[in-house]
Chains A and B, each alone.
Chain A
Amino acid sequence: MIEIFGVPLQGLFGQLLVGLINGSFYAVLSLGLAIIFGLLNIINFTHGAQYMMGAFFAWIGLTKFGLSYWAALVVSPLLVGAIGMAIERTMLRRLYHLDHLYGLLLTFGLALIIEGFFFNEYGSSGQSYDVPDALSGGTNLGFVFLPNYRAWVVVASIAMCLVSWFLIERTRLGAYLRAGTENPKLLQSFGVNVPLLVTLTYGYGVALAAFAGVLAAPVFQASPDMGSKLIIVVFAVVVIGGMGSIMGSIVTGLGLGLIEGLTKVYFPEFSATVIFLIMVIVLLVRPAGLFGRVR
């Protein structure tokens, strides 16, 4: 049995993989937060609740309507995105002329409503969701055993981040989004429907969270508080990485996930706090964040 610093390789690899999965979720969620913040200037506190809704809709789809995992991967983000767009149209829109803090307070309230609702409907225990047949089992890499589904989560998350990068940096719609982030008034005067763009952007950012939620359902189960626990860590990730660049979000998210995994193996008592400690160090050394622009 191979050991590294007294830890069996299989155990170390297992924790690193969980770290990588967490890191993928950090990446997808902080990316969504950054896209929304760029155009709306709002920190979406509901993001965690929307991630949780993504997982629950997948579970409800499977148990009530026999919706397959693959269909849920599409339907659940679309549904959560649509609800998000309705929220933007009816509520967030009224706050753009106010201090940014009101957006945070409103989305915090919405998060409480959603979380409270799911608590009452489904209780605090998690709802388990089976790994889809095509991804069950694992692959023996010779030195370790790699569960297929976990590998898929990491690959799918990174792929989703790259698709987002392509959409934003290489398409016309993405160019509008970037222009709107810089100067929405000027963009509007060129005849672009900026309010519609804002709605679509919010919907997309939220759908990303729901996508991560569906991916998470078979790994962590669907539970009402899965989102609020995660979102606070993601806030720290955002402070560490800054919201300046997409690649920055991916690198920071995955890197912090790995560090968290390593801490779980070698210093388990620090595993819950390590990301917050790194945030403190970053604030001391580089207050703008690793990839951040000061705004």
Chain B
Amino acid sequence: MTTGGQGRVALTRDYWIMSLLLAALVAAPFLGLYPVLLMKILCFALFAAAFNLLLGYSGLLSFGHAAFFGGAAYVTGYLCKDLGVGPGVGILAGTAFALALGWVFGSLAIRRAGIYFAMITLALAQMMYFVWLQVKLTGGEDGLQGIPRGRLAGIVDLSQDLNLYYFVLALCAAGFWIIYRAIHSPFGEVLKAIRENEPRAISLGYDVDKVKLLAFVLSAGLAGLAGSTKCLVLQLASLTDVHWHMSGEVVLMTLLGGLGTVFGPLVGAALVVVLQNAAVFGRWTLVAQGLIFVICVLVFRRGIVGEIAALFRRVTRPQKP
């Protein structure tokens, strides 16, 4: 869990990368890239970035983020399909649900630290899994299928992939911007201080529990935004989204891309989604995911972006003789 020095230079560099990335994403559909795959990547990138806010910058390992992602997807799916609500309201409601659930989970989980925190979030998410399994309106094993994308504000037809793509891009960019600003705000500095040395942060007078809870709720809400958006893109909300495999997958994306790096989760998510889509590993997917976990933890802890950043630092700042 490393962070580079975030001086003015680093900020300028980040702005350059973000502008280029945004320009590339705006142009992407015209370069022959399939919009639905791009949207799926965007949603998971936002999901992983929200998760990274918690693990990478606060040192809190949540093993239950599927509850927010999948829960929000169910809420949005149910509202849009069964109650005929528009996509904007549906996404807002899903995100609100994730925020509220995040507040409940967060309040409970921050009562214990470290390893217990991870176990509690996992157990709470599993409880939600059983709740969704039993509740009638989620369609049980079948899930909610054929969720209508609807019209945004009654005007823009989102069933057109291209329209939906720019809507999703705007949402994910906004979510990512919120995370980026949070990391580089005084609030973000307190988060890092807690991660590095919690007793010292307490002795400096910070209300550590409140800061942790705020980070948790923010992370949960943005994970929910990602889930709601994904539900409109794939027109599907199912038990897969709330299963613990999904919680593990977002950990994997973040770890592979680079914990505590700004762009790591985006790279990790893109890689994992593309590999899944191409079905490279076929029925060995589970084993391959496990192997990537093991390799990342044992020899590749900085992740892809972390390694590149370290290489970059070594090149630009040569060691003194």
Chain A interface (Cβ < 8 Å from any Cβ of B):
37, 43, 91, 94-95, 98-102, 104-106, 108-117, 119-120, 228, 232-233, 235-236, 238-239, 269, 272-273, 276-277, 279-280, 283-284, 287
Q: Are A273 and B131 in contact (CB under 8 A)?
A: yes
Bound complex: CA A120 to CA B288 (Å): 12
Set A105, A115, A228, A232: member contacting B297, Cβ < 8 A: A105
CB-nearest residue of chain A relative to B125?
A232
Q: Does B291 contact A (CB under 8 A)?
A: yes
Taking CB atoms, residues of chain B closer than 8 Å to A232 are: 122-123, 126, 244
Task: Give every chain B residue within 8 A of A99 (Cβ-Cβ).
Answer: 1, 59
The interface residues of chain B lying within 8 Å CB-to-CB of A239 are 112, 116, 119-120, 123
CA distance A119 to B288 in the complex (A): 13
**Contact: B112 with A287, CB < 8 Å?**
yes
Q: How far is the CA of A125 from the CA of B226 in the complex (A)?
A: 34
Q: How far is the CA of A124 from the CA of B297 in the complex (A)?
A: 28
Q: Does B294 contact A (CB under 8 A)?
A: yes
Q: A95-B297, A101-B61, A104-B118 are in contact. Are A116 and B284 (CB under 8 A)?
A: yes
> Nearest Cβ distance between residue A73 and chain B, in whole angstroms?
28
Bound Cα distance A104, B255 (Å): 13
CB of A276 within 8 A of CB of B287, answer no
B200 to chain A, nearest CB (A): 17
Interface residues in B18-74 by Cβ distance below 8 A to A read 55, 59, 61
Q: Beyond A276-B126, A277-B127, is A100–B114 a contact (Cβ under 8 Å)?
A: yes
State A37–B1 Cα separation when bound (angstroms). Answer: 22
| Contact, CB under 8 Å: B294 / A106 | yes
Interface assignment of B290: CB less than 8 Å from any CB of chain A: yes
Contact pick for B287, options A120, A272, A280, CB 8 Å: A120
Contact flag A102-B284 (CB < 8 Å), given A108-B248, A235-B119, A236-B119: no
B244 in contact with A235 (CB, 8 Å): no
Give the number of chain B interface residues (Cβ < 8 Å): 42
* Minimal Cβ-Cβ distance residue in A for B295: A109
In Å, the complex CA distance between A100 and B283 comes to 31
The residues in B between 219 and 277 inclusive whose CB is less than 8 angstroms from any CB of A are 244, 248, 251, 255
Q: Does B293 contact A (CB under 8 A)?
A: yes
Name the distance in Å between A102's Cβ and chain B's nearest Cβ.
Answer: 5
Report the minimum CB–CB distance from A55 to chain B (whole Å): 19
Q: Looking at the complex, which one of B55, B59, B119 makes contact with A43 (CB distance below 8 Å)?
A: B119
Q: How far is the CA of A271 from the CA of B198 in the complex (A)?
A: 38
A-B contact list, 12 entries, CB within 8 Å: A101-B118, A109-B293, A109-B296, A110-B294, A112-B286, A112-B289, A113-B287, A116-B285, A120-B287, A232-B126, A239-B112, A283-B120
Given contacts A106-B293, A113-B291, A232-B244, contact A287 B255 (CB under 8 A): no
B283: A residues at CB distance < 8 A: 119-120
Instruction: Give Cα distance in the complex from A279 to B285, angstroms.
Output: 33
A233 to B286, CA, bound (A): 21
Report the nearest B residue to A280, measured CB to CB. B108
Task: Identify the closest chain A residue to B112 (Cβ).
Answer: A287
Q: Is B149 an interface residue (CB 8 A)?
A: no
Whether B298 sits at the interface, judged by CB under 8 Å, is yes
Asked if A112 contacts B248 (CB within 8 A), the reply is yes
The smallest C-beta distance from B213 to any residue of chain A, in angstroms, reads 14
Q: Please provide the chain B residues from 157 to 191 with a CB less than 8 Å away from any CB of chain A in the complex.
A: none
